[in-house]
Structure 1
Amino acid sequence: MPTSVLPFLMFQGEAEAALAFYLAVFPDAHIDEVRENPATDAMPASKLTRLTLHGQSVLVFDSPVKHGFGFTPSFSFFVTCESEEEVRRLSDMLKQDGAEMMPAGSYGFSTLFAWVSDRFGVSWQLNCP
């Protein structure tokens, strides 16, 4: 039986920059663990980091292997915010050099909602109920 289910973000050479960015964007974010995997005959060295965002553990991996895929908006982090100002602040920070799928606005299902992807391609849904 599984002991946990965690989001796993696989970057290709940008994990360190993404971690620094998320630590700057989310004031309560912190790194819990860093596991260095030394190179072997079969695989180059790699690093796995456990990041916590608002109490949610996220595994962040920098793949030494290049892949023909990246992140998709069909998987996103849904962030419940305490205020409209927080939705706007997070939206403004996260969408820099990224994309805005739904600008901050009232869409009938919440007070304020925004959907953005950051410069690394990770998707964020920001909601003030």
Structure 2
Amino acid sequence: MENQITTFLTFQENNAEQAMNFYIGLFDNSKIIDLHRYSSSGPGKEGTIMVAKFELNGKQFICSDSFVKHAWTFSPAISMYVECKTQEELERLFNNLSENGEVYMPLDNYGFSQKFGWVGDKFGVTWQLNLQ
């Protein structure tokens, strides 16, 4: 049996569900697979996500709302890399993901790609977007 490798996103502001739904709305072939919430008995805030599995364009992710406040958050050193088939798709994703976030590299031709952009979204997750 092969080991499954899945990206796990740990949110520290009780916004895992908001982020997951935002991402599912941006990418085709995306859905929530499984979702478990903290109950009134904790240890996390009641109703927040203990663990959720979801797909973005068929690729599985897992997320949770951490009840432990860590000294770290998301880092641009690790980012989601998206190959876009059209310029329209690239621009739509770039605009939506960068709204209320941060642009690390604006959409441009950097020599290694005809059009590329790198953003940190409003949740702190970073995305590299490349036109195939």
The answer to whether TM tops 0.5 is: yes
CA distance in 2, matches of 1:7, 1:79: 14
Where do 4+ consecutive residues of structure 1 move more than 4 Å? 37-41
Q: Any conservation in 1 of the 2:24–2:55 contact (CA below 8 Å)?
A: no
CA distance in 2, matches of 1:37, 1:14: 13
Question: How large is the Cα RMSD of the aligned pairs?
Answer: 2.0
* Higher mean C-alpha deviation, range 7-16 or range 44-53: 44-53
One-letter amino acid of the counterpart of residue 104, structure 2: M
One-letter amino acid of the counterpart of residue 54, structure 1: N
The aligned residue for residue 26 of structure 1 is 27
TM-score of the superposed pair, with normalisation by structure 1: 0.89
One-letter amino acid of the counterpart of residue 6, structure 2: L
Unaligned runs of 5+ in 2: none
The aligned residue for residue 6 of structure 1 is 6
The aligned residue for residue 15 of structure 1 is 16
CA deviations 1:27-54 (Å, max 9, x no partner) are 332111113455768x446521111111
Aligned partner (choices 90, 96, 99) of residue 99 of structure 2: 96
CA distance in 2, matches of 1:37, 1:21: 21
Q: Any conservation in 1 of the 2:28–2:57 contact (CA below 8 Å)?
A: no
The aligned residue for residue 71 of structure 1 is 74
One-letter amino acid of the counterpart of residue 102, structure 1: M
Aligned residues: 128
Q: Any conservation in 2 of the 1:29–1:54 contact (CA below 8 Å)?
A: yes
Aligned to 2:81, what secondary structure does the other structure show? strand
The aligned residue for residue 114 of structure 1 is 117
Unaligned runs of 5+ in 1: none
> Measured at CA, do residues 122 and 38 of structure 1 come closer, stay the same or move farther in structure 2, by a change above 3 Å?
same
TM-score of the superposed pair, with normalisation by structure 2: 0.87
Q: Any conservation in 1 of the 2:32–2:55 contact (CA below 8 Å)?
A: yes
Give how far 1:23 is off.
1.9
